[in-house]
Chain A
């Protein structure tokens, strides 16, 4: 069986909501039935086969290709299978995802992996703003699973994140981990201003000191933390730069905060 491939026939004029096109929805459908699925684009309802050419027959391996930046909600609520996006994609990729894997070979728009609950999102490019955050108006962001970004991430990654792991190989924008409730965000590159703004619990693990640290973060000093080698060791099985980090003694400078909020969070800056 070959992967079920959805090729955009031409660049849509407006963003397309492709949330119905997830492996579990397509498992028992024939190609004509898949083609008849109605998608929303702008104020229009269109059949899938009017904008996509459909080939292949394995819905557990789904490929989106063409001008994929026009696709929003790729893999929304997905719980099984693998979705590959051959290019950059729009907003809300992997929203509410419960399991399976989404690979994006390009950049993602805002709110990628927002309110995600499980599975793996892998971005071979840059992640947009509000990666792993809550949807606007909601109060709980990512609740499980893992996101790997090989490039940079935008502002407010992990906003209101509740559980799970964000691994960012490049730089992160301002306010990383803002209003975080729990979970782990690890950033290999540089971090913008005011990381952890308003964070209640959770861990921001940094390899470089942030540009500006909020005045409501207090220095707890340098410490050897036993869980750090264990945590980094758990990344060794992943396909990421985090898997190839030198073994650490677990020594880190610990800043606690945000003291203007609950203050149980921490920013750990690894000591080489």
Chain B
């Protein structure tokens, strides 16, 4: 909120207030979503005898890899009070670039780098439009979604490409522990979340991300470069979408221009379930990972319990509304 009052006293008071708020935001643990996850697991453990098996749990992890990685980028953007509707489309274009180039006899390593570069570049374009031109993230990424989806169809000639290169399929390989299969992709997912949790909590950049989302004006007044922080977030997210594309090929050895049409909303669902505020500036990255897991635990568990897809959607949707309700309650009673 802008006030017409300026001056050092107000500046330093704001500074202190902002610091206090940040400290609180960073301390907010992912305890809510973790409890929900725990309840869900216990419920399915009681009501089915096939949910809590090593094989099924490792499958739930694998099912969370692509959306989990997309949700990580989405989390960063939502922390800056933005939103990204184009992440699924960007990842799909990434898969098409990687798979098509390799399919046409190109070097898989080059194909991979180009795929990552394209995704990162699209993040940069989104970021410039949002941070530099000040356009609303919703509008920018809605436009990007439409454009990128069409480009994927054009570039792929609207066909899907099978992938055989071991490098491109790498994240789908892994280790077998009895009935449990842990793919390298699972380790990467956990590793990425660990890395970003550390960066957000322990580096200046991480604190700046929280600050520009919570109160951009105050952040500007205490000398944070707001636009370059926001831009760096979109570029980072774009790169993560490229990684998600690589992960997706490991999961399904096929790049399909029609895939992941609902990944944008699913990644937002994971972020919201994880307790991150859509108003920016508050939330935890680990919460997002748990949010992604909750969605897939619900799907898997309800399937084991013999519930059809549509009822599963009812449960997931209800859960999201409850999570947002909790978020509102928290905002009213907490940081305002």
Do these two chains interact? no
- Seen from chain B, the residues whose Cβ lies within 8 Å of a Cβ on chain A are none
- Seen from chain A, the residues whose Cβ lies within 8 Å of a Cβ on chain B are none
